[in-house]
Amino acid sequence: MSTLFEPIKLGAITAPNRIIMAPLTRARATIDHVPTPIMVDYYRQRASAGLIITEATGISQQGLGWPFAPGIWRDDQVAAWKPITEAVHQAGGRIFCQLWHMGRLVHPSFLGGKAPVAPSATTAPSHAHTYEGNKPYELARSLQEVEIADIIQDYRRAAENAMKAGFDGVQLHAANGYLIDQFLRDGTNFRTDSYGGPIENRIRLLVQVTEALAEVIGSDRTAVRLSPNDEHRQGCADSNNAAIFPAAALALDRIGLAFLEMNASRPGSTFRPGAGKYDLAPIIRKLFRAPLILNTDYKKDDSVAAIRAGEADAISFGRPYIANPNLPELLRHGEELREPDAAFFYTQGAQGYLDYPTT
């Protein structure tokens, strides 16, 4: 019977425990999306995680619309990531780079005034975070098929760059209402070509990008993140989650990934209250044979229970890792976890970033 503190094979790497650091946007890169020296210390502090999955990292300027988020499409960005991966490895850790295209959630101010791209011409609800403050989202334009091929190439190049930067692998961000998720769901994908309509068409981009990443760096160094239990994330919804996501999981299973990470439907979640009227995790668990990592407000006891029950192979923790860099040690000894200060989640300094106790 597996426990939270036992090693696990995740594709090409062996994690010493099943406490995974989930992707966490922290906005500590430069204004032009280059990782900064304080990010070296931040990730090194958390190297005791079974695996670190980085904050979402842009594959292109077209796909990145978050202030001070890092990218990995330019040589200077690759060079700035190298000290980070080296620091994690020197501290005994492992680290994957999460690859991100935000689709319609990129505000035109990041694109020189040009419209963002999406599967269809739609506008996201609410507002975008920009360097000039919050602004309403604007109408995205529908991608042409030739442009989709270019985006797949951007993903391929980003994976190559991740290997040059010293990462152990990559995770495709296909969740939370961003570009890949926008293609998956019929509430944002109204296309009539080979990327729209039937389920097999709407999962096409997910499959093609994942296959491209696997071809570049190996399927055993490629992972995916999905959000099947989010019914309406950032205005991205589907009329039948129970059909689209099992189909996606089955298609991903055939590629032979390192792991799949996804949110569970957790009653009483403080981060996503009411997310998911039903839990697709048990269904996907049966369809996807590689390790399954679950996320959403897990504590020690229910993490241990989920792994012992075979519901998951590992658990990823997001916000607990902000204030608890040594989270595996704290969980092992049953110590009380510190609460992060939300006022410093997305600021650019060391306060609320590097100053949480590491012992």
Catalytically active residues, by annotation? 178
Residue 162 main-chain phi, psi, to 5 deg = -60, -40
Q: Say which amino acid occupies 104.
A: R
First-to-last alpha carbon distance for the chain, in angstroms, is: 29
Please list the helix, strand and coil fractions of the chain in percent, rounded to the nearest 5, in that order. 35, 15, 50
Q: Say what the alpha-carbon torsion angle 202, 246, 221, 6 is, to the nearest 10 degrees.
A: 160
Residue 158 main-chain phi, psi, to 5 deg = -65, -40
Q: Say which amino acid occupies 138.
A: E
Cβ pair 315, 18 in contact under 8 A: yes
Cα 333 from Cα 320, distance rounded (Å): 15
Q: Say what the alpha-carbon torsion angle 229, 233, 238, 242 is, to the nearest 10 degrees.
A: 0
Which two structure tokens, joined as six digits, stand for 328?
């595996």
Cα 281 from Cα 264, distance rounded (Å): 6
Dmax (CA) of the chain: 55
Cβ pair 351, 39 in contact under 8 A: no
Which two structure tokens, joined as six digits, stand for 67?
């202030």
| Beta-strand relationship, 259-263 and 236-237 | unpaired
Cβ pair 292, 257 in contact under 8 A: no
CB-based burial label for 12 (10 Å; 0-12, 13-18, 19+): middle
